[in-house]
Amino acid sequence: MQRIFSLARERFAEHLAGVVDIVGVAHIGALSDMDDQGWDHQFDIVLRHAYLAIQLGAPALASRGGGTIVFVGSLAGLASVANQVAYGTAKAALPHLVRSSAHEFGPRGVRINAVAPGFVRTPRLLSRLGEPYWQNVADLNPMRRVVIPADIARAILFLCSGLAGYVTGNVLTLDGGTAFVAALPEIRPST
């Protein structure tokens, strides 16, 4: 992370205005099958880099008069997702890191927020999950579709822009309303 911020200062000089952090790969599997090394790795890849991005990036932005940091969280950090206990636990800590860091760095002009998408049609997930899975996710979604990378990019662009100049410490859920739908069978009206 020190190398990344050193390179950013070198390349962007006074124009460094924001950081977008999109790191996170889920360990898929039962918690009972995970060892200490796997747990530590999941927290390193999900949370440690976020802490370092704030620890190094926020002061760099503050020294230039302020800026914004946006993280990509996950629906798995807001609700239970089967076989993603370690990933979800690490992603659940991210909103607290965002809120607390926004509180700490707000007086220095640095806004810190996150987005929390559901399952995203990324090349990695598309290669792992078949079309029937994606259709099932879409069918359970109030908008009847799955989030795509462009949806996330637009939300991040908003959070980085002046339009969100008074927005900090927030986690914007990007799941088309899925997190707010009760997992119950549909009740059909009797005829």
Given a cut of 70, is residue 186 above it in pLDDT?
Answer: no
134-154 per-position pLDDT tens digit: 898 888 888 999 989 999 999
Q: Is 166 a catalytic residue?
A: no
**In terms of Cα–Cα distance, which of 53, 50, 131 is closest to 90?**
50
Report the pLDDT averaged over residues 35-54: 91
| Domain locations along the chain | 2-177
Per-residue pLDDT at 11: 81
- What are the backbone angles phi and psi of residue 185, rounded to the nearest 5°? -65, 150
Pick 2-177's CATH classification: 3.40.50.300, 3.50.50.60, 1.20.140.10, 3.40.50.720. 3.40.50.720
Q: How confident is the model at residue 115 (pLDDT cuts 50, 70, 90)?
A: very high
Give all strands (DSSP E) within 98-166, no chain letters: 110-117
The model's pTM is 0.87
* Backbone φ/ψ region at 28: left (φ over 0), alpha (ψ -120 to 50), beta: beta
Tokens of 6: 């050193």
d(CA 112, CA 20): 10
Of the residues 51, 87, 133, 166, only one is catalytic, namely 87
The pairing of beta strand 18-21 with beta strand 171-174: unpaired
d(CA 24, CA 8): 21
Tokens of 16: 């460094």
Handedness of CA 49, 55, 56, 57 (dihedral sign): positive
Per-residue pLDDT at 34: 87
